[in-house]
Structure 1
Amino acid sequence: MKDSENAVDIKLIFQFFMCCLVAIVFLSSTYLEFSDYAQFQHKLKNKNWVQKTMEITPQMEIEIFHYRNHQSKIIFKENQQEIFSKSCNGQLELICKYIENHEIQIISLNFYTFLDKNTNNYNEFLLNTIAFKDKQGQLQTFPYMTDAPNSPQYIAEIKTEFRSFFIFAFLKHLIFAIMFLGFNLSFNVFKKSTIKLINNLIITTFSLSFISFVIRYFLL
């Protein structure tokens, strides 16, 4: 009887540690995702954004790459090296189809970018417009961005789009909180008062973790 109880306890302990490992991985990815967003918001507000144009030369290649999940992206290459890529979702979906069907000819890409003072290089290229020739040979411009990156309108738009992050963050916190509460109730080595204390600690920890994201979001 004791052997079977010990076996059950060992199994629970193993499952508990595996749950801890999975929680650390998933919640760490959540923190990293939010940190990337916070850094991007900081760049939008504080960097000196300028426009740069990249002419499409004969040495450059434009490729539409399709993934197995039916997603696709447009890739610009020079000397077989990728220099820029962008998902074909949303606004670019139609442009990607035109390019793949050879209905338009891309002439140039215009970007918003900023000069990194540490490296003295331009980075964080944001696609602004695409200049192309249509079937009739007329020069057209596709406006991918309607506002500058540091404009209040663009910053507010990015902030609104990021709200979906909180749905997944809340679900992750809720699921792992329930799992840890379940493990705590499964262990028979603690007194009822101790179990209650641990449950309160679990609920408080996961609640504060999620609330911290909300507070940091509104402070950005």
Structure 2
Amino acid sequence: MDVLMELSRILITELGDQQVIFLKEKDGQRSFPILIGIHEALAIDRRLKNKPTPRPMTHDLMAQVIESLGATIEKIVINDIQEHTFLATLFLRRDGQVIEVDSRPSDAIALGVAFDTPIYVAEHVLDSVVQAEPKTREARIGLLRQRLEMLSDRIRQANEQLGDEDFLAQAPEEMIKELRRQCEEMQSEHDAIEKVLRKLG
């Protein structure tokens, strides 16, 4: 079952690598943040506010291509989360046929936001990542700090493994590369949350 959501906030803290958008349940209280790149965050904000640009930007071009092919964006579904990464599908309709396109949530939302495209999240994804939206600023900060502590612990564990000579000697090279990649992703999220917390005071 997919749950209808809405874009409730875009938090652009500074021109850094990671920014935050918040999705909220349309007919409920559940919400959660998604970390996205600065370019996608600015594109979402610009297209949401219908700000013109001298020339088409990437997401404008993609929208024009879809339209020129006679297709419409029907819906966006965030249907899975793997290793801290959300996965999404963009549903297009053309001549009565539904076309499913694998997408990052940020790109799909940047495309669809100008057309008021409905955003859905799979129930199992929602259950795994959300809590009822906190009612106060302090509660929101508390949730971010909890996430920061959890990431710090996981990063510490990963670094301990990567510093273990026995592990490095015995583990397959692909496993080591994957662990390093996961560690970098978690560190990126950790740094982004720290920036948000500094901004919120």
Q: Which TM bucket (shorter chain)? A: under 0.3
Over alpha carbons, which structure has the higher Rg? 1
Give me the TM-score of the superposition, normalised by structure 1: 0.23
